[in-house]
Structures are given as structure tokens and as C-alpha cells.
Amino acid sequence: MHDVLRQRLLRRIESLPEQQIYQVLDFIEFLESKYAQAPAEHASGLQKFAENLEDRLRRRAVSPATIREAFQLISAADRVLSGVSSAGKQILSELGEALEGPASPPTRGRVPAPTDADRGDSEGGGGGG
């Protein structure tokens, strides 16, 4: 969908009373079920929860104003959780990069510690006594 059409739809929808906006949503979902060629964009877990809750409240005839207030809170929570999620991903990415750095310090100039075989050759011939 191009931007001019998107803006036009938003302007028209925003000019309607809330009850009619839900009628528009129902009609869009009906059209989607009949004619959609590709699945709709995936919603986050919290968004899916909010949509299901909204549908249940609408079935119980809760006023649109009450639904709007409840979902303003859920929307704020979704934004916060998205921020926390992206911050967590960034931290994990940076930790992964730090751990993938040099596996061990360079060994140049270090003398390896003697092994038991090395000690046996130098100490085995002498008499102790």
C-alpha cells in the first residue's frame, strides 16, 4: 500500500466515532479472511494478547472509551518491553563479540613447563644414597 492511500485511510478512520471504528475493523478482518493473498504482519506476543483481550471486551459490550484507556496502558507496556528486549539483544551481541575475541593470550616467548617425561630423563640415572 502506498503512503498516500495509507494516510487517506488513517484520516478517514480517525474522523469516525469509536464504535464505527470497530465496525471498520470488523469489516477489514472480514475482507482479509476472504481476499488476503499474504498473511498479515505478525504481532508481538503482548500485541496478540491485547487484541484477544480487546475482542473479548467488545463481546461483553464494554464501552469503547474504557477499552481505549486500558489499551493505552498496554501499548505503553509494549513499548517498554520492546525497549528492554532490544537492549538485552544488544548486550548479548556485545558479550558474544567479546567472548569471540582471542581465545587465549599469545604464547610467544613463554617456555613450556617440563613434563614427567622430561624429568625422568634428567633424574633417572643418578643413585640416591
What element of type H or E holds 61?
A: none
pLDDT digits (tens, 9 = 90+) for 38-90: 777 776 676 777 777 777 777 777 777 777 777 777 777 777 877 787 788 88
pLDDT of amino acid 94: 80
pLDDT digits (tens, 9 = 90+) for 89-118: 888 888 777 777 655 555 555 656 666 655
End-to-end CA distance of the chain: 97
Rounding to the nearest 10 degrees, give the CA dihedral for residues 60, 65, 68, 70.
Answer: -70
pLDDT digits (tens, 9 = 90+) for 13-23: 999 988 888 88
Neighbouring CB atoms inside 10 A of 50's CB total 19
Q: What is the pTM of this model?
A: 0.41
